Structures are given as structure tokens and as C-alpha cells.
Amino acid sequence: MSDAAVSRPSPALHSDRRAFLDFVARHSRLLLTTHINPDGDGLGSEVALALWLRSQGKQVRVLNDSVVPHAFAFLARHLPLESWEPERAEQLFNESDALIVLDTSNRQRIGRVAEVLARHVMPVAVVDHHVTHQRGFGQVNVIEPEASSTGEIVFDLMREAGVPLTPEIAEALYVALMTDTGSFRYSNTDSHAHHMAAELLANGVDPQRLHSQVHTHASAGRLRFFGEVLSALELLDDGKVVVLEASPEQFQRHGLSGSDTEGLVDLPRTIAGVEAVALFSEVEPGKVKVSLRSTGRVTIDDICARLGGGGHAHAAGVLLRGTRADARAKVLPELSRKVAALGAVSAQRFA
């Protein structure tokens, strides 16, 4: 198999891979960050990139707004993944020459790290795969929406730079790829994702072990909470739209936080005939996290982008202030319109 089959060619429109490699060559003290409530892709990409840059003799630090969820704590055994602490944040910025932002191209999504960045003049490079905010806010932006995960872009960059894959780097990249593709089930899974997985396995990854390391951290309360929310699911628009709601009282009673809803919105996609799922998750009174998913025929990122959020064509989110009823009123009419338009198209086709 040729290398060309494994590496996705650099897409001319969004990506500046060469500029990124020059950027890291120019700086010797690098600070890495990712989005708030980090996931396997943000954290796995950070660890892989940090280990790569450290092997080049660079000083690398990682600072995120939020703490590392238990499921990904094992990734931090190679290097500290620090979370927000104001004085330490100032110190890390003072001791770094450049910032690399992974898995978001939206400045607000790095949370409190953005506030420190506003006070420090520092060159920024962005590596991301989201469709929204495609221009990025870095001097260098490697934004490739066709990539399944940011980890996949880091993998391609490493291949272009001729960096060897160590078992530790392969493990971090596999976590990124596995989590963002829903274990190779979502529409972003393509041959490149599978080729990449094969190469990671050839470099020491044990897929079964990593899968269970990431997916065996739930509490019994979390499963009871899922059960409660799912048993109250609503079917709208002739069963094409599923709506789920979670209240602050439910989060509190089961001892859960916002990141515990991970995976919940994906479950109703298994219902026959469903086109889209909306989860309105009110962790604290007056703050509603909306998660939208499409089963592939409608695009939903534009609904979230219009309200200030973003994501991908078939998986997107936004945080809204107000009640769950307010959030539903902002999101559901447009979702219904999109699903109804699909019906009109199919009806035309069969007429």
C-alpha cells in the first residue's frame, strides 16, 4: 500500500499544513490548549502533538479551561494536562512563545484561556476539523472539515513531517479517532479513518483495551439518569424528530455534571425513521446546552451556528441562556422545517 493511500492530501482551500510545520519549527516553547469540556479528540490530539514536539527537544505545556474527565485521565500519564488556575495560567503564558489550539477554531470555545490570550501578544496556530468558524483565529490555520477528527489531521501532519509513531503517540491518536467517529460508526468514518486506525494498530495500539479504558467510567447514577431521560423521550414530526430534556434537578439527584450526557443524544438515532435528535440539557438553572444530531439527511450545524454555537453537519451544539422552553422555541421550528422539506423532496421524487 502506498503512503498516498493512507495520508489524505492537504485540502487546498482550508489547510496550511506547510505553514504549520514552519510555525512549530520557529518556536521552541509551545503551549497547547483545546475546547472547554474537552473530549477524546481534543485531549488525544494534545497528547500526540505534545509528545511529537517534545521528541524534537521543545518545551511543551498543556493548559485547558476544564479538568480532564475520568475517562481520559490515563492520557495524562505522559505529561501534565493542566486545567484553569489563574496564576498558573499567567505563568504558563509568560513561559511560552506560541499557542496551538486544537479541535476548535472558535476563540470563545477555549474558555478562560482566551482571556489570558487577550492580555498576551502571542502567535497562535489552530488545528481543527469543524465546519463552523472556518477561517480560524490563528496566524496559521489548519482547518480540514473533511477530517473525521483533529487527531486525523495531527496524524497527517506527523506523516508529512516524517515523525515516527511511538506506541504512546499511536494510543493518543487512536483515542481521538475512536471517540470522534463513535467507534467508527458515524458518517465521518471513511477509508482514511480506517487506514489510519490500521497504522495505529501496527504501532502498538490495543483497540479492545483502549475502548474499555474510555468506556468503563460511568456511575450507576449516570445509567439511571439516561433511563429516566430516555423514557420521557418525545417523538415529533411524525416520528422524524426525537426530543430529550434533562433538568437541573435530575443532574443533582444523580450527582452528575454536564459532561455526563456524553453519548445520550446519540441513542435515539437507532429508532427507525428518525432524521434528527435534539437534547436540551439544563445543568444549571437558566443555562441550556443544546445538542443536535442528524442521521445523515438534514444538516443541523447551521441551526446552532445561527444561535452562536457550531459543530459539524450532522453533530452540533450551542449553549443558550433561558429556560428549556425558550431553547426549544429557538431550535425546534427550524428543525421541523428542515425535516418537512426532506419529506417534500422525497414526495416529489416518487410523484
Burial of 233 (0-12, 13-18, 19+ CB in 10 A): middle
Q: Sign of dihedral through CA atoms 298, 231, 216, 82? A: positive
For residue 132, give every residue at least 6 positions away whose Cβ sits within 8 Å of its Cβ, in sequence order, or none.
Answer: 105, 106, 301, 304, 305, 309, 310, 311, 316
Confirm or reject binding of residue 318 to ligand AMP (CB under 6 A). Answer: yes
- Minimum Å gap between C-beta 326 and Mn ion is 26
For residue 48 the three cell numbers come to: 500526540
Q: 106 or 141, CB closer to ligand AMP?
A: 106
297 CB-near residues (< 8 Å, 6+ apart): 275, 342
Site string for ligand AMP, 54-93 (x = CB under 6 A): ----------------------------------------
317 scored as a contact of ligand AMP (CB under 6 A)? yes
Q: Please identify, among the stretches 4-12, 56-64, 153-161, 317-325, the one whose residues bind ligand AMP according to the rule CB under 6 A.
A: 317-325
Among 124, 309, 320, 328, binds ligand AMP (CB under 6 A): 309
Pairing of strands 59-64, 124-128: unpaired
Q: Which does 41 bind (CB under 5 to 8 A by kind): ligand AMP, Mn ion, none?
A: Mn ion
Residue 307: other Cβ atoms inside 10 A? 18
Window contacting ligand AMP (CB under 6 A); options: 111-119, 166-174, 241-249, 314-322 = 314-322
Contact 144/14 with Cβ under 8 angstroms? yes
Provide CB contacts within 8 A for 34, sequence distance 6+. Answer: 42, 43, 45, 46, 64, 101, 102, 103, 104, 110
**Which of 315, 331, 332, 339 touches ligand AMP (CB under 6 A)?**
315
Residues in contact with Mn ion by CB under 5 A are: 39, 41-42, 103, 149-150, 180
Instruction: Tell me which of 43, 47, 49, 319 binds ligand AMP, using CB under 6 A.
Output: 319
Of 44 and 243, which CB lies nearer to Mn ion in the complex structure? Answer: 44
User: Which CB, 147 or 298, lies closer to Mn ion?
Assistant: 147
- With contacts defined by CB under 6 A, name the span among 3-11, 18-26, 248-256, 303-311 that binds ligand AMP: 303-311
Q: By CB under 6 A, is residue 44 in contact with ligand AMP?
A: no
Handedness of CA 84, 88, 93, 96 (dihedral sign): negative
- 171's contact among ligand AMP, Mn ion, none, with CB below 5 to 8 A by partner kind, is none
Rule CB under 6 A: say whether 310 interacts with ligand AMP: yes
Read off the DSSP letter of residue 323.
-
Residue 319 contact partner, candidates ligand AMP, Mn ion, none, CB within 5 to 8 A by sort of partner: ligand AMP
C-alpha cell read off for 59: 518545551
Say if CB 258 and CB 37 are below 8 A apart. yes
- Of 195, 145, 202, nearest to 7 by C-alpha is 195
Nearer to ligand AMP, 62 or 318 (CB): 318
Name 15's Cβ contacts closer than 8 Å, sequence gap at least 6: 142, 143, 144, 153
276 binds, among Mn ion, ligand AMP, none (CB under 5 to 8 A by kind): none
Smallest distance from the beta carbon of 167 to ligand AMP, in angstroms? 28
Beta bridge partners of 141: 126
What is the closest distance, in whole angstroms, from the C-beta atom of residue 41 to Mn ion in the complex?
3
Torsion of the alpha carbons at 301, 303, 307 and 312, rounded to the nearest 10: -10
Q: How far is the CB of 336 from ligand AMP (least distance, A)?
A: 19
Closer to ligand AMP by Cβ: residue 97 or 146: 146
| Binding residues for ligand AMP (CB under 6 A) | 106, 109, 291, 309-312, 315-319
